[in-house]
Amino acid sequence: MYDFSFEITYEPGVDEYVDLFIDRGSLQSEATYSCLDPAELWKLESVTGDAADLAAVDELLLDESVDRESISGRTCRAARTTSLLTDERRRRVTYTYLTDVDYCESVPLIAAKYVDGGALFEQTRSGDTVRWRVLVQDDSKIGMLYDTLSARLGEGRSFSFEHLTEVDRWESELLSRPDVRAEQRETLLLAVERGYFETPREATLDELAAELDEPRSTVSYRLRRATAELAKRFADQRS
């Protein structure tokens, strides 16, 4: 298998969805795509951030008329269905399905024209940068894919190649998320954001408890359980 990785950087004002990540620094997105032919694709996307920033992104996440796939600036012509799977204070997960695609200059649909046997795509968003990882069985047409992606980019977007590497496995944090319960994950994310794990600490348990509107003992328990699960997973991956 081969891991083809690259970045697309956006100037402000060229993509309304990316603009939210530029303007609101806490927002991060991870998405996994699958596309077996140029006529359809599905996407599982997880967006995390401060509660206020997530509230600002909600409308675009669920608006089926908003095109978050095209890299050219030309709107995709396809039937789009989006469902909200997870609605937490600091995390949203959505499932998007595009079918009856007549025209769409998105990375997965462009790749489907060049890559035999299908491909798996991982996308991360932060600030003005969207990073792509493409997992393929055969790298013989990656050069053609690279040239096509570069040529299809719309104005205000720039393409940066990272690497083409042969791999024997490929891990996705979105598909292999640690077994941490939703309330534990929410508490852990807040603790990281507020500097609870910094030295010296920038937030106390009492402050976290007040923000979450939970007893101090509950917050402490959730943090212990979340960190224990993460530690077990870390050890398992290296055993």
pLDDT at 89 over 90: no
192 and 160 housed in the same domain: no
Same-domain status, 191 and 123: no
Mean pLDDT confidence for 140-163: 90
pLDDT band at 64 (very low <50, low <70, confident <90, very high): confident
Which residues form the domain of 149?
2-166
Query: Given this model, what pLDDT does residue 23 score?
Result: 95
- Which of 37-51, 68-82, 176-190 shows the lowest per-residue confidence on average (mean pLDDT)? 176-190
Based on the domain organization, do 53 and 94 belong to the same domain? yes
User: Does 197 lie in the same domain as 159?
Assistant: no
Same domain membership, residue 215 and residue 100: no
Last residue of a domain, one of 166, 195, 223: 166
Of the ranges 112-126, 138-152, 174-188, which one carries the lowest mean pLDDT score? 174-188
Q: What is the pTM of this model?
A: 0.72
Beta strands 28-37 and 91-103, pairing class: unpaired
Question: Considering the chain, what is the average pLDDT of its residues?
Answer: 85
| Domain tally, the chain | 2
The confidence band for 162, taking pLDDT boundaries of 50, 70 and 90, is confident
Per-residue pLDDT band for 177 (boundaries 50, 70, 90) equals low
**In a shared domain, residues 70 and 127:** yes
Task: Please identify, among 166, 195, 215, the residue that sits at the C-terminal boundary of a domain.
Answer: 166
Residues 188 and 142 in one domain: no
Instruction: Tell me, yes or no, whether 119 and 56 share the same domain.
Output: yes
118: left (phi over 0), alpha (psi -120 to 50) or beta: left
C-alpha distance from residue 135 to each of 1, 38, 108, 111, 138 (Å): 7, 17, 11, 11, 9
pLDDT of residue 188: 86
